[in-house]
Amino acid sequence: MSIQIGQIAPDFIQESTQGIISFHEWLGNSWGILFSHPKDFTPVCTTELGTVARLAPEWEKRNTKVLALSVDGLGEHDLWLHDIEQTQGVSLSYPVLADSDRKVSNLYGMIHSASDPSLTVRSVFVIDPARKVRLILTYPPSTGRNFAEILRVLDSLQLTDRFKVATPSDWQRGEEVIIVPSVNDEQARNLFPEGWKAVIPYLRYVPDPVQTS
């Protein structure tokens, strides 16, 4: 199945290390991040799961729940979580789906047959509280993810949902943003009464409105 940005994230019911997860119900009013791992007991995945666990305060600040997936079963997951805690110095407070039947993997298009028909690639889906898919990233199995970038995109999505702005290249939280082209100058004067910096007519910078509100 091919998932598109803007569509409703497919719902599912699947076992996890924290019990049965009914995905849409589990999300509640939160943002969600669903990210897959090729299999248990692999070195790159071990570091990734530890990184996500250490970022727990950051996910909480952003009202975001994280959910991992691996194609192995609960028995393997329980043993693997012990390895993660031992090697990464952190325990997992979030669930890991046991997707040995590949139900969720296939539902979200995480199996790329040209890579390996039995394993997932490193997929990431950011899902908003309305259950819409807002970001899709796919990494090859050999490359660990940059979760600082995923946090950065999450910040951008949450900011631009609140204000009529977009974020420029390499933007970081608190930096200047861009007034979207659909807002003309007359509308912009009402939305941004302190004015803006126009480099060219369609490139108008304003301070991060969260920082100035």
Residues involved in catalysis: 45
Q: Tell me which long-range contacts 165-169 makes (C-beta under 8 A, separation of at least 24).
A: 165/206, 165/209, 168/205
d(CA 104, CA 61): 27
* Contacts (Cβ under 8 Å, ≥6 apart) of 202: 181
Collapsing DSSP states into helix, strand and coil, what is residue 73? coil
The C-alpha R_g of the chain, in whole angstroms, comes to 19
d(CA 105, CA 70): 9
164 sits in the region (left: phi over 0; alpha: psi -120 to 50; else beta) called: beta
